[in-house]
Structure 1
Amino acid sequence: MSVRVGAWSIRTVWLILVSCLAVSLVVAAMAALNTALPDIARDIHASSTEMMWIIDGYTLILAALLLPAGAIGDRFGRRGVLLLGLLVFGMASLAAVWVDTPGELIATRFAAGVGAALIMPATLSLITAGVPREQRPIGVSIWAAVAGVGAILGFFVTGMLLQFFSWHSVFITFAVGALVAFGLTLSIGSSKDADPGPFDFIGSITSIVAVTGVVFGLLEAPTRGWTDPLVLVCLLGGLALGAVFVFIESRRTAPLLDVRLFRNRAFSSGALSVMLQFFASFGLFYLILLLLQLVFGYSPLKSAVALIPMVAGVGLFALLGNWVAVRFHSLGVVLAIGIGLTGIGIIAMGIFEPNEYWKLAVMLAVTAIGIGLATAPSTTAIMANTPLDKQGVGSAVNDTARELGAAIGIGLAGSLMAAGYASRIGPTADAAREQLAAIDPAQASQAAHGIELSLAGAVEVADQLPPQAGALADFIRTGAENAFLPPMQQACLVLGAVLVVGAIFLGWYAPRQVISADSLDPKAQDVPSAPQDVTS
């Protein structure tokens, strides 16, 4: 018999806590290396392309494997798959401590992505299959809040570590966290599909290749441009394979993903809302971290602390949004308000120049409140309308929507930023080249190229100038900042506009009920008070 605290059993609370610890590792690892990347690049002599793959390789593998990994958890047991994922993630993180070359580090990031893909869907499906029906909305709210703020916590922990230790400490921390989570996971029960049927290898391979193509194209677009042949082949080929995947799955008796679930308006609204939330948050992270570190001059740790308004907003309002949506049967209203507020907060950054932190903090808080209101109801709508035996696949849909949204947000924000900066920085780079030619002719062209490349490159050139060239350094910084801020605000306007349109659509399309009347499986919501096929 489980010990109970009020209406909650210790077993239920423990399951939620362990699952949230595991998912926090995955989400934090998506963001943490952005802060440590300059130190890593200097130490192992990584090129710009290699630096990109150190960050994006993990995201690419994670996104590509989520659907098959969720199905594997449903088939063989979610706790076992979670344990395997934690083991792979921890070993890959530890291996990164001893790398000497960029290629070796990229390989460890690929391996960590495999582990993360096994971890992420298992954590949510364990909660939805193991938490009693009346308590599940709160469990999902907590999971969604942790997953939502995990990236910011990753920035914060990495910033603290880099204040005192080398970049190796980041990977050691992930390895230790995985070890702790592995030990704790042994103490929870498991659940799985009672009658899984044959594994869908064709659907798995098709989904992996399709998602890989789309995500790779989105991640490469800011660097190569949207009209680059490789980007176009990956995007169009990935979308075409996505259509093939839908065709295949609609005709299989035991599909990897029952695509008919998307006819359920609550399910599809939840997936779209999740995608929009991560489109907003990761597009915004890309822009705001540049602003904080390169314009405001904040350290990595101070930049993470500056994002605390987002942590508070998402964490507090995730519980409220889910409660309102479930209690008052107002899914569509809550999603529309949440996504709409997010869009308004980001549009405000495009209208009002965030030249002081307090202005930025207010706009971040509005954005975070919107994301917080929408995040848990979206996930609840996906999981409540997914059959109980397929909770791992339902969780994978939720997580794939997150990864695709993040990739689109970064791709769009990065492309707008790069194009806008390049169109404005020319006069500053030309003037700097002329003045540097009188100081060091050999370095003049290289320095001008660094200024033209990005704001980070311009700041690095300014920082490396000798003290007697202080006036030139200030000129370069000012010119680069003036070339950065307008396109940053334009990118915010575009991101915000997409969200406002999405909010209007969700307000019209999303049903009132979290569990939609057109659910294909009316029993999907009847999750028992204990998980099926429980093992100790």
Structure 2
Amino acid sequence: MNRKQLWVLLLGSVASLMAALDTLVVSTALSSIRRELDASIAELEWTVNAYNLSFAVLLMTAAAAGDRLGRRRMFAAGVALFTLASAACALAGDVGTLIAARVVQGAGAALVTTLALALVSTAFPTERRGAAIGILEGVTGMGVALGPLVGGAVADGLAWQAIFWLNVPIGLIAVPLALRKLPESFGPDGAFDFRGVALVTGGTFAVVWALVRGNTVGWGSPETVVTLVAGVLLAVAFVRWERRAPHPMMPLGFFRSRAFSAGNVAIFCTFAALFLAVFFFAQYLQTGLGYGAFEAGLRLLPWTVTLFLCAPVAGALTDRIGERPLMGGGLVLQAVGLGWVALVAGEPYGAMVPALVVAGCGVSMAIPAVQSSVVGAVAPDQIGRAVGVNSMMRELGGVFGIAVGVAVFAGAGSFASAADFTDGFVPAVVAAALISLAGALAALWLPGRAPTPTPVERRVELG
């Protein structure tokens, strides 16, 4: 790894960690925010959803902007926007201001995560890309999983504003370093696809809105049905436009590749199961087993540390043996671990530990393989667009998983008591395991890949 590649990986990982951490970090600090800002339950929900909504909606737009205006430039702009919005969150004097700042923060996160992956994928050659993506995704996965721990620490003594102030000095250092140290890269030449951006943004927003609001207003309510139908219609209009657009933001030819299509289905299922599990595990440890918020975060470490440690190894193995065995096997392991958690629910915490390790190893195997599959299916100058599609599928999967989990939980349990919570927790986690298995089935569609030859094998071939 040369110095330029090291800077790309370092800055991409740090910025992605910030963005990933803020996906769920607020969830265990909601009680403190409710007391200080006098927020209602609905307003508290939007402090979480506002970030995820703008994040998911703008991912493909972020990729298009990076391709057109420069990935380094837009990555630095995303870090700057995220940093300013973090300061605005910390300074918010009322919940409305906090929600608005979270929307802007999500927009910055969309630029950061999409373009970090594009920059890393472009900086490393094919035979080393999996390892680099494994490191990036290991750090990013740690951010998602550590969200409840950091939020729990805040909820148990620190001011909730510290969640957001933490991002500010990191961002102030990262922006000038990104502009100085990262190489600039662009996507294919062509005009900016404004109509495509408008259609995909509107369609994604409508679908995500329906998923987020369905559990609150009812899945058969006019609001949910109308927004979902509108989202589907806009998505159809987007596909029709992209077929004839002179410079499409998402070439539909991508989906002729089995590697690209299978990878995107797999990443949707992977993050649906992961976000569902993150959302409920911390609450189960608190409501079902009686731990405090910070104690619950600490008890998730066997899972979160596994995510951080295994992803780089899995990324390197992807370069050696190909994506399909790691993608499929990892999702099966995640399903086994989640099913195991459901089986031991209600027992002392120690019974969960091996299940958490298995689930963490599984998702750590799957994510780098999926990312390598997707970016490896397109030409180098198309990587930004491919990453935008893949990142959007990740976030949509996360929103979908939480929505499904909450619906399943509400049908079987409640927060009335530890036993009632466990009654809902078990089927919700089973749903996550089934979603993981659906992703494993998608991985079977992935074409096989010949292993990368070792240096000795290369010398034999050349000799």
TM range (shorter): over 0.9
Q: Taking structure 1 as reference, are residues 131 and 328 closer, same or farther at Cα in structure 2, changes over 3 Å only?
A: closer
- How far apart, in 1, do the equivalents of 2:155 and 2:262 lie? 40
Tell me whether 1:512 sits opposite 2:448 in the alignment: yes
Could you tell me the TM-score, scaled by structure 1's length? 0.81
The corresponding residue for 1:399 is 391
How much does 1:71 deviate? 1.0
How much does 1:161 deviate? 4.2
How much does 1:168 deviate? 1.2
Q: What's the CA shift string for 1:80-131, capped at 9, x where partnerless?
A: 1111111111111111222222111111111111111121111111111122
Q: What one-letter code is carried by the residue in structure 1 that aligns with 2:347?
A: N
CA RMSD of aligned residues (A): 1.8
Select 1:275's aligned residue among 248, 268, 272: 268
In the TM superposition, what are the counterparts of 1:379-528 in structure 2 within 5 Å?
Answer: 379-421=371-413, 454-455=414-415, 458=416, 480-507=417-444, 509-513=445-449
How much does 1:184 deviate? 2.7
Q: Taking structure 1 as reference, are residues 98 and 319 closer, same or farther at Cα in structure 2, changes over 3 Å only?
A: closer
Contact 2:27–2:151 (CA under 8 A) maintained in structure 1: no
Tell me whether 1:212 sits opposite 2:205 in the alignment: yes
Q: What one-letter code is carried by the residue in structure 2 that aligns with 1:128?
A: S
How much does 1:162 deviate? 4.4
How much does 1:242 deviate? 1.6
Select 2:147's aligned residue among 154, 157, 164: 154
- How far apart, in 2, do the equivalents of 1:131 and 1:368 lie? 26
Query: For the pair shown, which has the larger CA radius of gyration, 1 or 2?
Result: 1
Tell me whether 1:325 sits opposite 2:318 in the alignment: yes
How much does 1:225 deviate? 2.6
Q: Taking structure 1 as reference, are residues 363 and 139 closer, same or farther at Cα in structure 2, changes over 3 Å only?
A: same
Contact 1:266–1:513 (CA under 8 A) maintained in structure 2: no
SS in 1 for 2:352: helix
Select 2:116's aligned residue among 111, 120, 123: 123
Select 1:23's aligned residue among 16, 19, 36: 16
- How far apart, in 2, do the equivalents of 1:409 and 1:514 lie? 34
- How far apart, in 2, do the equivalents of 1:388 and 1:315 lie? 27
Contact 2:335–2:437 (CA under 8 A) maintained in structure 1: yes
Contact 1:216–1:234 (CA under 8 A) maintained in structure 2: yes
Q: What one-letter code is carried by the residue in structure 2 that aligns with 1:144?
A: E
Q: Taking structure 1 as reference, are residues 13 and 290 closer, same or farther at Cα in structure 2, changes over 3 Å only?
A: same
Q: Taking structure 1 as reference, are residues 354 and 244 closer, same or farther at Cα in structure 2, changes over 3 Å only?
A: farther
Contact 1:249–1:257 (CA under 8 A) maintained in structure 2: yes
The corresponding residue for 2:170 is 177
The corresponding residue for 1:462 is none
Q: Taking structure 1 as reference, are residues 194 and 38 closer, same or farther at Cα in structure 2, changes over 3 Å only?
A: closer
How much does 1:203 deviate? 0.6
Contact 1:225–1:415 (CA under 8 A) maintained in structure 2: no
The corresponding residue for 1:428 is none
- How far apart, in 2, do the equivalents of 1:297 and 1:486 lie? 15
Contact 1:130–1:191 (CA under 8 A) maintained in structure 2: no
- How far apart, in 1, do the equivalents of 2:188 and 2:257 lie? 23
Tell me whether 1:79 sits opposite 2:67 in the alignment: no
The corresponding residue for 2:96 is 103
- How far apart, in 1, do the equivalents of 2:341 and 2:232 lie? 32
Q: Taking structure 1 as reference, are residues 13 and 514 closer, same or farther at Cα in structure 2, changes over 3 Å only?
A: farther
- How far apart, in 1, do the equivalents of 2:442 and 2:42 lie? 38
- How far apart, in 1, do the equivalents of 2:450 and 2:176 lie? 35
The corresponding residue for 1:245 is 238
> Which runs of no fewer than 5 residues in structure 1 stay unpaired?
1-7, 422-453, 459-479, 516-536
Q: What one-letter code is carried by the residue in structure 2 that aligns with 1:263?
A: R
In the TM superposition, what are the counterparts of 1:126-145 in structure 2 within 5 Å?
Answer: 126-145=119-138
- How far apart, in 1, do the equivalents of 2:43 and 2:345 lie? 34
Q: What's the CA shift string for 1:272-324, capped at 9, x where partnerless?
A: 12111111111111221111112222222222211112223222332333333
Q: What one-letter code is carried by the residue in structure 2 that aligns with 1:494?
A: A
Does 318-327 or 20-29 show the bigger shift?
318-327
The corresponding residue for 1:441 is none
Question: Once the two structures are aligned, what percentage of the paired residues are identical?
Answer: 28
Contact 2:59–2:114 (CA under 8 A) maintained in structure 1: yes
> Which runs of no fewer than 5 residues in structure 2 stay unpaired?
452-463
Does 311-320 or 208-217 show the bigger shift?
311-320
In the TM superposition, what are the counterparts of 1:336-347 in structure 2 within 5 Å?
Answer: 336-347=328-339
How much does 1:202 deviate? 0.7
The corresponding residue for 1:264 is 257
Q: Taking structure 1 as reference, are residues 195 and 371 closer, same or farther at Cα in structure 2, changes over 3 Å only?
A: closer
Contact 1:71–1:390 (CA under 8 A) maintained in structure 2: no
Q: Taking structure 1 as reference, are residues 82 and 130 closer, same or farther at Cα in structure 2, changes over 3 Å only?
A: same
How much does 1:206 deviate? 0.6
Does 391-400 or 75-84 show the bigger shift?
391-400
How much does 1:350 deviate? 2.6
